[in-house]
Amino acid sequence: MPATPTVYADESNSTGENLLDPAQAIFCAAGVYVDADLARGIVDDAVAQMPASLGEPKYTTLSKTPNGQSVLLKALSSLTDQTIRAYLTHKQFMVTTKMVDMLVEQLAFETGYNMYADGAAPALANMLHHFGGVCGDKDAFDHLLHTFVRAARKRSKASADELFAAMAAYQATTDESFSGISGVLLITRAQADDIFATIASGKLLDNLDPAVPCLVELCHGLGAELGDFALVHDASKTIERQAPQLLTAHELPDPARPGQNLPRLPLTGITFSDSTSAPELQLADWVAGAVRQWATRNATGQDDPFADALEEIVQPWVLGGIWPDLETVTNPRRQE
């Protein structure tokens, strides 16, 4: 019987549940399945080209200098024949998806309507993301997003009051053509109270952290290519907390498919290590950073010559992401 593959995973731009850090707008989770000797050779070669005083050659350090960028391009180019995958999150868009998921979708579900089945949930999240600051006052919409994040993290009754005050203040600024769409948020107070109470009880942890949903999709994508595998993750408090749930996900109900459980993750186990003892984790750090930098350029439209140079290498590694897409409005993604 062939040995179980081992995948090494790391993250870039992790800010936990703080989804609106303007300096770190994009999150990336990356997994690498690489020959151990190749990984060691690539990392050793990169370290040999850098000053001895550099310390650990993290992506954020290497990517700041022309020499470091050259080292990264050479290293990443050496991985094109390996199994490398990444999954992204546009953090501000995740805020609107979470508002829809935690509040509106729950209200709909209680009335017997599954918003995942006909693609209404992602469509509504995209409409709020794309048009919220255009069809209503942008500052009021931004305040609503920040208040939602604080409310979901504060875990107090008062923060629900603040959230619905922010909703009402924003709603008062919206165009007539959009007020019916955004106004649905105002009728979800009961659902907000329930979800915040659940969070306060400790039964729902890391709800806004993109690390878990990104890792889930990353594992499914890698599993389709490798079959079951062992996962070695760089140190992560969130993933460590959630590891038991990830390994038993198939025992939990799937909110998108009433009456069915979540799909099983193709994992034989999850352990944690660091790049000083596993060069594959160093590569995972570089991959996550490179994909995140390329995706940030795409999201912001800012000029970034190094992201341009990375594109041909990293684009094939991307499985997908929690990412805004207006096509979900005109062409809903229905759940089969």
The string of pLDDT tens digits covering residues 131-142 is 999 999 999 999
Crossing angle, helix 189-200 and helix 138-154, to 10 degrees? 40
Does residue 1 have a pLDDT over 50?
no
Count the Cβ atoms, other than its own, within 10 Å of residue 39: 23
Q: What is the pTM of this model?
A: 0.93
Does residue 110 have a pLDDT over 80?
yes
Can you give the pLDDT at residue 336? Answer: 45
Exposed e or buried b per residue across 150-186, where buried means at least 16 C-beta atoms within 10 angstroms of its C-beta = bbbbbeeeebbebbbebbebbbebbeeebeeebeebe
When the pLDDT of each residue in the chain is averaged and rounded to a whole number, the result is 92
Q: What is the pLDDT of residues 30-84, one digit of tens each?
A: 999 999 999 999 999 999 998 877 788 999 999 999 999 999 999 999 998 999 9
Does residue 270 have a pLDDT over 80?
yes
